[in-house]
Every structure is written in C-alpha cells, then in structure tokens.
Amino acid sequence: MAAADLTTHPGHLARRLQQAHYLLWNTMVSEEITSPQYAVLNTLVAEPGLDQRTVGERVGLDRSTIAEVISRLGRRGLLDKVRDPEDGRRFLLHLTEEGVRTHRKLTVRTARMNQVFLAPLTAEERTVFFDLIRRVADAAEGLRNPGEPLVAPG
C-alpha cells in the first residue's frame, strides 16, 4: 500500500495552519490571552451583555470550552458576569475597563499578525481563501447540529 499524500488531506493542512497561527499568536499577539479568549472579548465588544451560551455559539466553542474560557477571563478581571434580571439562571457578560483595554491592544497586534500570516497571498487570493475556509467551517458546524445537512447543495 502506498503512503497517502497528506497535502490533499484537509485535516492535515488545517493542523499545519493552526500550528503556524499558534506560533504567530504567541510571538506577535499574546502569550497570556489565547485566540479563543480574544474571540470572546471581541464578541463582547460587538455585543455587550450576551449570555455565555450565545457567546459560545458566536465564537464556535462548545459548552464546556466556553465555560472555561469565560472563567479564565473572569479570573483575569477582563469580564464580569451579571445575573440576568429576566432569568435568574442566566448570567450576562460584560467586559471590564481592563477587558476593553486588553481587547484594544490585542486588536492592533492581531491585525499585524494577520498581515504576516496572509503575506503569501495576493489580495484577490485572500478573498477566495476566506470564502473557502468560511464555507468549510460553516458546513462543519452542521456536524455538531443533528438535522442540518452535512453537504451544501450545489
């Protein structure tokens, strides 16, 4: 049996991309705040007062992962949990002043990192790249949601 050509395996390429992203993130953005933590901060800048479940959905994290991310950000003093006055079982999330400052700083660094990460691509290729990986990522979300089609029509 011949060896598989891993350059045609999306999982292998996705892992290599993730490794490159992780290296750049830790070098250029932050060793303390992870990319998923930044995604949560960014979501709460855009939509303050969301509940934990909704934030998890927005950033594509499962229930246990989003709970840990929220907990870590809370311990760092970057967000506050406030009981929802309409539903005492839910907590609404808001960034603290330090959370807003941290988000602002990381956003500048993230923009620089993305320039380095995407440097091999032309502007037109970046547009195609984002469209393709977004479509694959969106379709993959269906794997977690039974009842949704696994393959896009067309």
- Tens of pLDDT along 11-50? 999 999 999 999 999 999 999 999 999 999 999 999 999 9
How would you write the chain as a 3-class SS string? CCCCCHHHCHHHHHHHHHHHHHHHHHHHHCCCCCHHHHHHHHHHHHCCCCEHHHHHHHHCCCHHHHHHHHHHHHHCCCEEEEEECCEEEEEEEEECHHHHHHHHHHHHHHHHHHHHHCCCCCHHHHHHHHHHHHHHHHHHHHHHCCCCCCCCCC
Judged by average pLDDT, the poorest of 48-52, 93-97, 100-104, 133-137 is: 133-137
Listed in order, strand segments (DSSP E) in 43-128 are: 79-84, 87-95
From residue 4, alpha-carbon distances to 8, 11, 14 in Å are 9, 13, 16
- State mean pLDDT over 94-112: 98
